[in-house]
Amino acid sequence: MSDRQSSNAYWQANLRIIYVCIAIWALVSYGFGIILRPLLSSIPVGGTDLGFWFAQQGSILCFIALIFFYTWRMNRLDAEHGVDE
């Protein structure tokens, strides 16, 4: 595989990971916290409803988990393409 093809494969894989992370983040923050909040309001969590919890805590915790996932996955991708540290 040429350097250009390898570079394109690397960046396509990188963008795919980014798109998945953005989709998960959007689902959790906007979907669960705003759009689906009325459906989740009947589920109690820690003295409040699940929709409010996602809007206040869940989206932040999900974002932090996505940061760790992205770091872990990019380290593996770098190693697969020989550009790791």
Residue 31: inside a domain: yes
More confident residue, 16 or 1: 16
Residue 56: inside a domain: yes
Residue 19: inside a domain: yes
Identity of the amino acid at 85: E
The pLDDT of residue 73 is 97
Residue 32's domain spans which residues?
3-80
pLDDT in tens, 36-45: 888 888 899 8
Count up the domains in the chain and report the number: 1
At residue 68's C-alpha, the angle toward residues 82 and 83, to 5°, is: 10
The answer to whether the CB of 20 falls within 8 A of the CB of 70 is no
pLDDT in tens, 9-22: 999 999 999 999 99
CA distances 55 to 18, 37, 42, 79, Å, are 22, 9, 15, 36
Residue 85: inside a domain: no
